[in-house]
Amino acid sequence: MRAIEFDYPLIQKTYKVVNRRNLSLYIFNPEDYGANRSVILFFNGGSFKKGPLTPTQFQHQAKYFSTLGLVTICVDYRNGHDEKFTPVQAICDVKSAVRWVRENSEELGVDPSKVIVCGASAGGYIAVSSIMFSELDDEDNTTDHVPNILIVYAAVMDATDIMTRLFPELVEISESMSPIHHIKPCLPPTLWMCGTADDDYDQNKEFTDRMREMGSDIQFTTYEGMEHGFFNYGRHDNIYFERTIREMESYLRNAGYL
């Protein structure tokens, strides 16, 4: 079991146990306790690799938004570190985390109708897929797993590409879990951010354009010349870390979540 260490104090809660593996929520609370606050769950990228990133990828964003009065959560979900991992497990874990937050909203002091999910790269893929594919589920639980707001940082939407490169055993079913092959009006209001130099930029633009044509409310914001992961804390002297959190802040404020 690998250690996940954050730079800030937080509260750790288990939201799911799978084969003796405790899946945790790392919760940042605002300084002043309140009720009916908005809550944002962060799903890190880089999770499909054997040496995956950890939930700490979003700790600085989580800390910042907690100072604005939101309850913020970095989510640990099954990933390439886990034996026999597949992305299907991670998609199921997104649903479980959202359900746990809604079922424990009173304890958390949050409004169950103001749940925000934010995912980057692989985390963005599983966040979108958790909404699009109701059949991918490992719980008998009717609590709503669809967030009220979705925020995505550059995510591969063609699962046939993901599975061909990383999970060849899933190639035969990859199209059935590929968002770009299942365009339909199902996403909540969405802020989507992507650098124009990202290898997946064209795919991100095609997916969001086609989803908007189907009636989805998606704001597609681009960052000229920026690569995959440009927004991460510590990159580009934090210029784009700052710009992207300001973009998120503006979007959430306009939506009435701040």
pLDDT at 52: 82
pLDDT at 213: 96
pLDDT at 32: 78
Cα 206–chain centre separation:
20
Beta strands in the chain (DSSP E): 11-18, 21-28, 37-43, 71-75, 110-120, 149-153, 190-195, 218-223
pLDDT at 31: 84
pLDDT at 34: 77
| 2-57: pLDDT as tens digits | 789 999 999 999 999 998 899 999 999 998 777 899 999 999 999 998 888 899 99
Residue 57 and residue 44 in contact, taking contact as beta carbons nearer than 8 Å: yes
pLDDT at 249: 98
Nearest Cα neighbor of 91 from 216, 178, 211 is 178
Residues of the chain with pLDDT under 70: 1
Tell me how far apart the alpha carbons of residues 78 and 16 are, in angstroms, rounded to a whole number: 11
Q: Indicate yes or no: pTM above 0.95.
A: yes
pLDDT at 1: 59
